[in-house]
Chains A and B, each alone.
Chain A
């Protein structure tokens, strides 16, 4: 079996394990069974991908999206992007009461913490399975964004890496099928090189 395939398998399995952990965490946060479906995985030169390759039905939509990001630091640089439609935002925050302090948007605070927990759930499994030190920074509330999120991603990595590994999923909800948050992970492609090391390949 070629190393490249095994390398992909190691990364794929690590991400699968992380996404399952994240889906279970999200189930607990929203009191509803949450599953995920893989969308896309590939390596790209930094400026050569866009949303249409990651998630075709998302490309070209005019509706603004909420974007929350978490930077990954440690042995490898990366970033997670949690993208919510307006419907996702409304449904996920429907039980969150607004703070008495009007300067604070409690729904945004809730979703930042959701992103923190989901990103950490993935990082925990990636770190354990790939035997790398990885930590998630505090989440950043970016959205709403109108432009192609792919442009934001390109700009985030332009000075950080020449090639990146992309892996993305959509969360699906048992009782509310209209909710489909997109969760994109971009890592410096060094992670793929590391995943090919003999001690990780079974």
Chain B
């Protein structure tokens, strides 16, 4: 059965790139969020298998969203996909429970190998 994915990114262009790559590989996109509030609401409403999470959103930081997911016991696997490439931020994301951290720009192969490794 196809795994369900929630895409969180403020950029419509990036959401489309991620959606196209994952749909072509057989994943089912169940929701898209453009800000932190939507990212939290949709995650708990949809309980997706996978969440791709941007780190800089208009209203929240991705690592703060990860803290909410963790505190509320969300079981989804989170892959952070962000242009922010500082080692300290990557490590913070991984320490807070993200299964992988992809720095933009990325190839479809990089994205797929991260989701397939879950």
Q: Which residues of A contact B (CB under 8 A)?
A: 21, 25, 28-29, 99, 104, 106, 109-110, 112-113, 116-117, 119-121, 123-124, 127-128, 135-138
Cα–Cα distance between A123 and B10 once the two chains are bound (Å): 19
Cα–Cα distance between A128 and B83 once the two chains are bound (Å): 15
Least Cβ–Cβ distance between B80 and chain A, in angstroms: 13
Knowing that A112-B13, A116-B56, A138-B58 touch, tell me 14 more A-B residue pairs with CB under 8 angstroms: A29-B105, A104-B12, A106-B12, A106-B13, A109-B11, A116-B11, A117-B104, A120-B82, A120-B104, A124-B85, A135-B84, A136-B56, A138-B10, A138-B56
Given contacts A25-B105, A117-B105, contact A136 B84 (CB under 8 A): yes
Q: Are A113 and B56 in contact (CB under 8 A)?
A: no
Q: Looking at A21, A99, A110, A137, which has the most chain B CB atoms within 10 Å of its CB?
A: A110
| Count of chain B residues near A, Cβ 8 A | 18
Q: Are A113 and B85 in contact (CB under 8 A)?
A: no
CB contacts (< 8 Å) of A106 on chain B: these are 12-13, 16
Q: Are B12 and A124 in contact (CB under 8 A)?
A: no
Cα–Cα distance between A51 and B106 once the two chains are bound (Å): 34
Contact of B83 among A104, A109, A110, A120 (CB under 8 A): A120
CB contacts (< 8 Å) of A109 on chain B: these are 11-13
Q: Are A127 and B13 in contact (CB under 8 A)?
A: no
